[in-house]
Amino acid sequence: MLAPVASPVPSFTAVLFGLSGCLVDFGAQTRTLRSVDGKSFHSHNAQPFATPTPGALHALKQLKQQGIPCAWIDEYPAAIAEQLAEPLHGLIQPTPVPNHHWPAPDACWQALMTLNVGQLDGCVLVSGDPRLLMAGLNAGLWTVGLASCGPLCGLSPAQWENLSDLDRERRRARATLELYASGAHSVIDHLGELDSCLADITLRRQKSEKP
C-alpha cells in the first residue's frame, strides 16, 4: 500500500516589511532627525536616508515575481515615510500610519487588510526593530529579524564599513541576541539573506510548526 503523500505547504500568503532600518535607511538613521535643530519632524528632509539596504530591491522583485503580496510598515509621519519609500515605488504597497504604537498588532493587521489578505497563515513580517517584531508576534505572524541594518546596530553604512571585522561581529551578535529575545523566529544579517530564511520557514511549516 502506498504511503499517503504529504500535502505541499502553500506559498507564503504575504510578506510585510519595516521601512526604515529594513528596506531603506541602513542603521535607521532617520530617527536622528527628531533631535535636530528643533524643527517639526514632519518638515525634515529624509531623502539622504532613502537608499535601499543590501538585498532589498532583489528581495522585493523576487517576491513580486512569485506573486506574493508585500507591504511596508512604519511609524513615521506620512511626509517622512513617503520620502523614504520613494526608491521602492512599484515594488511594494504602502501602509497608512497605524493608530496605535508598536508592539500593538494593529499595524500588521492594517497592512494585511491593505493587501486584501484573508488569512494569517503563511504571513511573515521582516524588521530590524524589536518593537515591530513583537507587534508581528502579537498579530500571529512569522517574524524575521535583521541584525546589521536596523536600529540595534544603529550605524550609517559608512560607519558600519569603518568598523573592524571584530567590532562588526560584536555588534551583530548583540543585535541578534536582542532580536531573538524579542521573539523573532529567525534572524539574518540583511535582506540579501532573505531567500534562504524563507526556505527555512517553509521547512518549519512543512513540519506543522506554527508562529
Task: Give the tens place of pLDDT for each residue, 169-188.
Answer: 999 999 999 999 999 999 99
Average pLDDT, the chain: 90
Beta bridge partners of 73: 18
> pLDDT by residue (tens digit) across 43-56?
678 999 999 999 99
pTM here is: 0.92
What pLDDT digit, counting tens, does each position of 126-169 carry?
999 999 999 999 999 999 999 999 999 999 999 999 999 999 99
Taken in order of first residue, the domains within the chain and their CATH numbers are 14-206 (3.40.50.1000)
Take residue 142 and report the three cell numbers written for it: 512569522
Q: Can you tell me whether residue 52 is helix, strand or coil?
A: strand
Closest among 103, 70, 102, 96 to 82, alpha carbons compared: 96
Poorest-pLDDT segment among 77-81, 107-111, 163-167: 77-81
